[in-house]
Amino acid sequence: MRRIGILALVFLGSLIIQSTFISVLPLKIKPDLVLVMVILYALLNGTPGGLFAGAFMGLLQDLLRGRLFGMNLLALALTAWMVGWLENKIYKENLLVPIVVVFITSLLHGLLMMCFGWIAGLNNPWQTGMQIALYEALFNIFLVPPIYGKFLISTKRGLLRAE
């Protein structure tokens, strides 16, 4: 129970940072801290935990934004589920591995968001969508080095350790 509470605080903190500090950056395209946190959690904890974290954070983002409800929930849950599938198949201690995983799955998440936007009837989400997804993925990889080491240690022997 303690692990779930700490995890909820970590994810809510990332959502607050994303919606306050990162959203006021004077950039047109911004990094997605919530997506990076969900990807890293799914990479270290597998499919069930990743799916839950992705669905939970996607729901919170949908509630916060209030537009096209369910789009973030589906996209984050599917992305986390796919990353969680890699948990036992890759060597996670090498920093290059999560950087590559975050880059590729950020692109995949952008593609899912464009598909769901197209299904929802948005006007041509494909026009600039892949370019935005590429730049966001590049921004996201710069968030990995300061976060991943602490996340890995905390998952193996710290506060987020499975009990």
| pLDDT tens-digit map of 64-102 | 877 778 888 999 999 999 999 988 888 888 899 999 999
105 Cβ contact partners less than 8 Å away, ≥ 6 residues apart:
39, 79, 82, 83
User: Which token pair is 84?
Assistant: 């969680």
User: Which token pair is 126?
Assistant: 């494909």
Q: Is the pTM of this model over 0.85?
A: yes
Number of structural domains found in the chain: 1
Q: Which structural domain, as residue segments, surrounds residue 149? A: 2-157
Question: Residue 162: left if φ>0, alpha if ψ -120 to 50, beta else—which one?
Answer: beta
Q: Is 91 exposed, middle or buried (0-12, 13-18, 19+ CB in 10 A)?
A: exposed
Q: How confident is the model at residue 127 (pLDDT cuts 50, 70, 90)?
A: low
Q: How confident is the model at residue 130 (pLDDT cuts 50, 70, 90)?
A: confident
Q: What is the mean pLDDT of residues 37-51?
A: 90
Q: What is the CATH number of the domain that holds 128?
A: 1.10.1760
